[in-house]
């Protein structure tokens, strides 16, 4: 048995097989093979595996979203079986004696160039498809496939570190826990783990030994330990611990349906944070009143190009419909800092957390911003949508945002596209926004305090930097006073005020937040019922 220590970012016990995650390596090697026939067979096996994965994706998408959306996976299967495509690969492997990865890569490039040269929008789309499907085959061939379809059963992911763009690629129901060598408690991957209800450890003193793949592991999110090939004593102890935790969670279920009010009758709206449609079931299962933060940028991560208006519309509509009339606050694109997507082509920055990110990008790339706003407004006809804007520092930003919003609404009216009555708010996550919150409040209907960034900017502590954890004090008086000031200024100008940063779920502070007059707390779904219990105990 091997025991390693990390820092827990979410509690719980996970028991299952280990999957050692290697970062996708995009460099394609080119080398001569000795046995070309065997190499072609290696390609055929990867091709067959990719087709099986695509079939599974087709079926899942059909079930979860719809047949039309699933068609893409059927088309990808056809592309993989295309005779010309396979013949080209075979020609490179058997004719030139080269390796399968190189043959697939070269063929994909060739086909993509051919499709693009056709100068036809439909065929240009096929260029993206042929590259996409070829990447799948290459990652199977070189063993770096990250997609959860690659795993047969739910696993404990062991990795050096995980960027949000990598984390979103795993399929939720194939995950038991995350364990990383690096990482920080305030990173988005830690936040995602909490949202997904997965015990997780960061800064873990563990080797990324491929030998661990498939071995039994246990993650104890209470003590921050991971056991590899646990002995019988630990296994029995952990099973018991897991049972107790399951029991505790079952007990919390009795709070479902009860109002979130203090003993003295003060109501607090209890909402949940999500990253996508797949999180809504957990929101409903934990009886949240609504979604207080939909991190829409997750729709933009882990992909090759911008999500289209249609794709976004479908996602927002699905969340709003599933929430059945409960409020859903969609935060507009907050890309940048640790949330990166190459296709944005943002120049490398010295200080990305203080850089070109979030609303700054949206106000410069107005067409892209409008695409998102149009998608949200169109979806607003299917539920109760609200929008909030991240990283605000000035009144002029809100004025400009509102002009753009009005343009979008007018365009929709002109085209007879229905949309709902959408509440507009901003995130308060910069000290500047706190200080001028009296002015800002006059322009919006609500504030949502992003304590993750507000803490980082107030204390000048990079939330990604694990070396700064000893200096990071989430309860720093400066941050708490900022929260107080924001709430007071909101109320003085007729706006409501919530917290959607991780501090909202910090139950040592719940009483203080309630005393400050907080109207709403939005937390990861697994914290909802415990927080309701806490609020109901406050006198
Ligand atoms: C925050 O900064 O507190 C917040 C909720 O936004 P994010 O964590 O996505 O930056
Ligand atoms: Mg933030």
The tens digit of pLDDT for each residue in 172-189 reads 888 999 999 998 888 887
Of the candidates 4, 76, 188, 497, the residue annotated as catalytic is 188
Please provide the DSSP assignment of 437-455 as one string: HHHHHTT-SEEEE-HHHHH
Give the model's pLDDT for residue 116: 85
Residue 225 has pLDDT above 60, yes or no: yes
What is residue 308's DSSP assignment? Answer: P
State whether the beta carbon of 501 lies less than 6 angstroms from ligand 1. Answer: yes
**pLDDT class for 78, splitting at 50, 70, 90?**
very high
Q: What is the SS3 assignment for 515?
A: helix
Rg over CA atoms, the chain: 25
Distance 352 CA to ligand 1 centre (A): 15
Ligand 1 atom with the shortest distance to the CA of 502: 3
Strand ranges in 231-286 using DSSP code E only, listed in sequence order: 269-274
Give the model's pLDDT for residue 150: 59
State whether the beta carbon of 334 lies less than 6 angstroms from ligand 1. Answer: yes
Please report, for residues 138, 151, 159, 427, 521, the alpha-carbon distance to residue 494 in angstroms, rounded to integers and kept in the order given: 56, 51, 47, 16, 18
CA 21: distance to chain centroid? 18
* Ligand 1 site-directed mutation target among 500, 503, 520, most atoms within 8 Å of CB: 500
List, for residues 120-152, the tens digit of each pLDDT value.
777 777 888 888 889 889 988 887 665 545 567
State whether the beta carbon of 336 lies less than 6 angstroms from ligand 1. Answer: no
* 280 closest CA partner among 315, 319, 316: 319
Ligand 1 atom with the shortest distance to the CA of 297: 9
Three-class DSSP labels, 323-363: CCCCEEEEECCCCECCECCHHHCCCCCCCHHHCCCCHHHHH
Q: CA quadruple 71, 73, 74, 75: dihedral positive or negative? A: positive
Please report, for residues 42, 48, 100, 173, 345, the alpha-carbon distance to residue 152 in angstroms, rounded to integers and kept in the order given: 20, 16, 24, 11, 35
CB 13 within 8 A of CB 245: yes
Q: What is the SS3 assignment for 191?
A: helix
Q: What is the C-alpha separation between 103 and 86, in angstroms, rounded?
A: 10
Ligand 1 atom with the shortest distance to the CA of 448: 5
* 505 closest CA partner among 229, 116, 190, 295: 190
Percentage of the chain surpassing pLDDT 90?
74
**pLDDT class for 338, splitting at 50, 70, 90?**
confident
State whether the beta carbon of 451 lies less than 6 angstroms from ligand 1. Answer: yes
CA 93: distance to chain centroid? 39
Please report, for residues 269, 280, 422, 500, the alpha-carbon distance to residue 290 in angstroms, rounded to integers and kept in the order given: 8, 10, 15, 12
- For residues 476-488, average pLDDT: 98
Number of Cβ atoms within 10 Å of the Cβ of 227: 20
Three-class DSSP labels, 120-163: CHHHHHHHHHHHHHHHHHHHHHCCCCCCHHHCCCCEEEEECCCC
Residue 464 has pLDDT above 60, yes or no: yes
Helix H or strand E encompassing 403: helix 395-414
Active site residue 443: no
CB 391 within 8 A of CB 453: yes
Q: What is the C-alpha separation between 192 and 302, in angstroms, rounded?
A: 14
Higher pLDDT among residues 473 and 164, named by residue: 473
Active site residue 4: no
- Which range among 243-252, 300-309, 475-484 shows the weakest confidence by mean pLDDT? 300-309
Pair of tokens at residue 510: 């719940």
Higher pLDDT among residues 489 and 118, named by residue: 489
Pair of tokens at residue 32: 């001569």
Length of the chain: 539
* 206 closest CA partner among 4, 22, 14: 4
Cβ within 8 Å of residue 374, ≥6 positions away: 309, 313, 408, 411, 412
Per the DSSP assignment, residues forming a β-bridge with 328 are: 291, 385
CB 268 within 8 A of CB 262: yes
Ligand 1 atom with the shortest distance to the CA of 500: 5
Q: What is the C-alpha separation between 102 and 99, in angstroms, rounded?
A: 6
Please report, for residues 68, 154, 321, the alpha-carbon distance to residue 60 in angstroms, rounded to integers and kept in the order given: 12, 16, 19
CB 388 within 8 A of CB 427: yes
The residue nearest atom 4 of ligand 1, judged by CA position, is 450
Instruction: Give this prediction's pTM.
Output: 0.79
Q: What is the C-alpha separation between 167 and 59, in angstroms, rounded?
A: 23
Give the model's pLDDT for residue 149: 54
Give the model's pLDDT for residue 195: 87
- For residues 84-106, average pLDDT: 95
State whether the beta carbon of 297 lies less than 6 angstroms from ligand 1. Answer: no
Give the model's pLDDT for residue 25: 64
Pair of tokens at residue 484: 């107080």
Residue 438 has pLDDT above 90, yes or no: yes
Maximum mean pLDDT: which of 97-101, 300-304, 335-339: 97-101
State whether the beta carbon of 500 lies less than 6 angstroms from ligand 1. Answer: yes
The residue whose two tokens read 């379809």 is 149
Helix pair 36-64, 100-117: axis angle to 10 deg: 60
Maximum mean pLDDT: which of 69-73, 139-143, 342-346: 342-346
Residue 526 has pLDDT above 80, yes or no: yes
């Amino acid at each position: 048995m091997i025991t390693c220590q990390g820092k827990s970012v979410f509690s719980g016990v996970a028991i299952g097989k280990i999957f050692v995650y290697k970062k996708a390596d995009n460099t394609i090697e080119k080398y001569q093979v000795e046995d070309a026939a065997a190499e072609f067979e290696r390609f055929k096996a990867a091709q067959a595996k990719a087709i099986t994965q695509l079939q599974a994706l087709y079926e899942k998408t059909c079930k979860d979203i719809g047949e039309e959306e699933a068609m893409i996976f059927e088309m990808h299967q056809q592309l993989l079986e295309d005779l010309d495509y396979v013949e080209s690969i075979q020609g490179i492997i058997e004719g030139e004696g080269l390796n399968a990865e190189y043959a697939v890569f070269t063929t994909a490039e060739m086909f993509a160039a051919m499709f693009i040269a056709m100068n036809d929008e439909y065929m240009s789309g096929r260029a993206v498809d042929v590259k996409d499907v070829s990447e799948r085959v290459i990652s199977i061939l070189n063993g770096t496939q990250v997609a959860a379809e690659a795993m047969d059963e739910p696993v404990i992911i062991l990795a050096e570190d995980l960027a949000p763009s990598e984390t979103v690629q795993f399929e939720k129901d194939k995950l038991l826990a995350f364990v990383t060598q690096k990482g920080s408690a305030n990173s988005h991957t830690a936040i995602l783990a909490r949202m997904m209800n997965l015990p997780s450890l960061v800064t873990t003193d563990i080797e990324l030994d491929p030998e661990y793949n498939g071995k039994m592991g246990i993650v104890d999110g209470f003590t921050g330990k991971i056991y590899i090939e646990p002995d019988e004593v630990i296994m029995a102890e952990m099973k018991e611990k897991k049972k107790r935790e399951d029991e505790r969670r079952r007990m919390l279920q009795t709070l479902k349906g009860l109002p979130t009010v203090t003993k003295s009758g003060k109501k607090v709206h209890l909402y949940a944070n999500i990253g996508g449609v797949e999180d809504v079931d957990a929101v409903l299962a934990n009886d949240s009143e609504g979604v207080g933060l939909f991190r829409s940028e997750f729709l933009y991560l882990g992909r090759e190009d911008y999500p289209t208006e249609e794709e976004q519309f479908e996602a927002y509509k699905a969340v709003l419909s599933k929430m059945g009339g409960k409020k859903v606050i969609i935060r507009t694109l907050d890309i940048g800092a640790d949330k990166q997507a190459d296709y944005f082509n943002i120049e490398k920055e010295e200080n990305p957390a203080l850089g070109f990110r979030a609303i700054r990008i949206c106000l410069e790339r107005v067409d892209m911003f409008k695409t998102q706003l149009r998608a949200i407004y169109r979806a607003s006809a299917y539920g109760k949508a609200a929008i909030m804007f991240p990283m605000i520092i000035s009144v002029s930003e809100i004025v400009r945002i509102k002009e753009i919003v009005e343009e979008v609404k007018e365009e929709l009216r002109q085209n007879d596209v229905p949309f709902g009555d959408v509440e507009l708010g901003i995130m308060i996550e910069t000290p500047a926004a706190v200080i001028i919150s009296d002015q800002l409040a006059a322009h919006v209907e609500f504030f949502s305090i992003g304590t993750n960034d507000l803490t980082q900017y107030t204390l000048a502590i990079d939330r990604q930097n694990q070396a700064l954890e000893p200096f990071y004090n989430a309860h720093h008086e400066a941050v708490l006073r900022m929260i107080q000031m924001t709430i007071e200024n909101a109320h003085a100008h007729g706006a409501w005020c919530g917290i959607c940063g991780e501090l909202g779920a910090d139950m040592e502070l719940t009483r203080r937040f309630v005393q400050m007059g907080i109207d709403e707390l939005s937390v990861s779904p697994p914290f909802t019922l415990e927080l309701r219990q806490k609020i109901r105990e406050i006198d």
